[in-house]
Amino acid sequence: MQDRQEQVSQVVVTARQMRDIEARIFAAGMPVAALMEKVAGLIALRVREVRGSRVGILVGPGHNGGDALVVARELHFRGYAVWLYSPFSKLKELTSQHLQYAQSLGIPYYHEVEQLPDCDFLIDGLFGFGLERLITEGIALAINRLNQWHKPILSIDVPSGIHTDTGEILGTAIRATHTFCLGLWKLAFLQDQALEYIGKAELIDFDIPLADVEAVLGDAPRIKRITPGTVKLTLPLPRPPVTHKYKEGHLLLICGSRRYAGGAVLTALGARASGVGMLSIAVPESLKPILVSHLPEALIIGCPETETGAIAHLQLPENTDLSFFSAIACGPGLTLDATPIIQEVISGESSLVLDADGLNILAYMGTIPTLQKRQAPTVLTPHTGEFQRLFPDIADPKHDRVKAVQEAAVQSGAVVLLKGARTAIANSQGAIWINPESTPALARGGSGDVLTGLIGGLLAQAATKKIPVEDIVATAAWWHSQAGILAAQERTELGVDAFTLTQYLMQVISNLGNI
């Protein structure tokens, strides 16, 4: 049984779902004003940990503004110098009552941004999940002006101006340094385009009953955050006391070319870190010595080469065919000259991960619909450019990455991992995993090759277990990014080349015991 914190940390909701959950709580008898008091009380406690005692509070017309006014009142009583700014003349009733009381306490209230005295930081309660249209005119100008002050801004629930679901900027938006997401993680926190506006994100749990969350989310496929708890459920640990190398999975990597030898080494090092029982690596014949020297434990299969140094065709050892392997990972460094290999692995019946040139060849051949016919699981791991080449008829993933990856999985029947600051993974039934933490240190050549090897190695080990493929892919994505975070902490964001990244993978798993 997972504890409440772990369960809450996995949940992701849309604005609509949050409103429905909230409606159930109110219908069950919780007074709206009491909930606002509780939530804003928790925010005020958190704000008091921030340095500074002169605070400007931005008040919107809805309950986000109400939250801000309760925070203003609490800070006022705790001795802070508090100033209110609100350009709105019409406020929701509860918000209006809080404003009236704040004014009765002598808290100054201004209609123009310029009237706000110099403050240490700002609290943004202009709009929460009720923002439904573009911000225009005076309010847009005010937000732009406030952003130019370059003061710390603490946003309540979401930075005002951000679409709660897609993370799009609706006209303009507050650039928060810190955002307190209320109750449950909203989808915008997991959309790349919103991240620059959100700053440091923190969930304020205000005891939403899990029964209400379950009732609203129902049995439909969910969007979930990957957490250490979900990762622990899928890792092949502990191993059974009695086992042997083939029981712990046999992965075949097909990668590399004379031009891109390093891609093969990095993919293999990612696979090695997965702990896979047996690793075979098919490369062009001329790469064999390099691979042997880096991975003495692996079986290196030298294959005939094209004139350009790509694998011309697979030449597996005698009595071996593709069905012999628990999983196959194919693509890094292949070049487009290895096209026949992709045709061959797609028609095989092993679990298959396709990345890099594997995806480019797939796009070139236009074989996405044929993936639907595969009996075994397929995993595609595109970055945005590869994604657009593979799925040209899906709307630009930049507008809504989560929707795009969901559509791609339905179209292909594959598990699709869309790389990004918040990597998203979808299966063809509509379930989504999103990796909530990463580092820009990973935006570097070769880091994707490491991920491909890691996914392949975990898939091979899970081949006989009943773990959903998307859960395994999610675990690999989390593991990979945590290694990047760990490496960046020690070596800065500039010090995480792909080889170094592979050296941090094991540390992540040994640290998991402490989480």
| Binding positions for K ion, rule: CB under 5 A | 64, 124, 155-156, 160
Least distance (Å) from K ion to the CB of residue 166? 16
CA angle 470, 199, 139 (to 5 degrees): 115
The CA distance from 321 to 379, in Å, is 20
Q: Strand, helix or coil at 251? A: strand
299 contacts: CB under 8 Å, gap ≥ 6: 278, 279, 280, 281, 317
Closer residue to ligand LP7C6HRI, CB minimum distance, 67 or 357: 67
The residues with which 303 forms a beta bridge, in sequence order, are 284
Q: Does 430 bind ligand LP7C6HRI (CB under 6 A)?
A: no
Least distance (Å) from ligand LP7C6HRI to the CB of residue 35? 5
Least distance (Å) from ligand LP7C6HRI to the CB of residue 184? 8
The residues with which 59 forms a beta bridge, in sequence order, are 125
Site string for ligand LP7C6HRI, 13-52 (x = CB under 6 A): -----x---x------------xx--x-------------
Residue 234, token pair as written in the block: 């899928």
Q: Does 99 bind ligand LP7C6HRI (CB under 6 A)?
A: no
Q: Which of residues 107-136 bind ligand LP7C6HRI (CB under 6 A)?
A: 127-135
Residue 276, token pair as written in the block: 């896979």
Nearest to 299 by CA among 325, 279, 276: 279
Q: Does 182 bind ligand LP7C6HRI (CB under 6 A)?
A: yes
Q: Does 198 bind ligand LP7C6HRI (CB under 6 A)?
A: no
Look at residue 496 and give the partner it binds from K ion, ligand LP7C6HRI, none, a contact being a CB closer than 5 to 8 Å depending on partner kind: none
Closer residue to K ion, CB minimum distance, 124 or 168: 124
SS3 content of the chain, % helix, strand, coil (to 5): 45, 15, 40
Least distance (Å) from ligand LP7C6HRI to the CB of residue 279? 49
* CA 168 vs CA 154, 181, 419: distances in Å: 19, 17, 18
The CA distance from 252 to 274, in Å, is 13
Q: Does 159 bind ligand LP7C6HRI (CB under 6 A)?
A: no
Residue 247, token pair as written in the block: 């029981």
Closer residue to ligand LP7C6HRI, CB minimum distance, 142 or 273: 142
DSSP run (H or E) holding 224: strand 223-225
| Residue 225 burial (CB count, 10 A) | 23
Q: Does 11 bind ligand LP7C6HRI (CB under 6 A)?
A: no
Q: Does 157 bind ligand LP7C6HRI (CB under 6 A)?
A: yes
Least distance (Å) from K ion to the CB of residue 64? 5
The binding site for ligand LP7C6HRI (CB under 6 A) comprises 18, 22, 35-36, 39, 60-67, 92, 127-135, 139, 156-157, 182-183
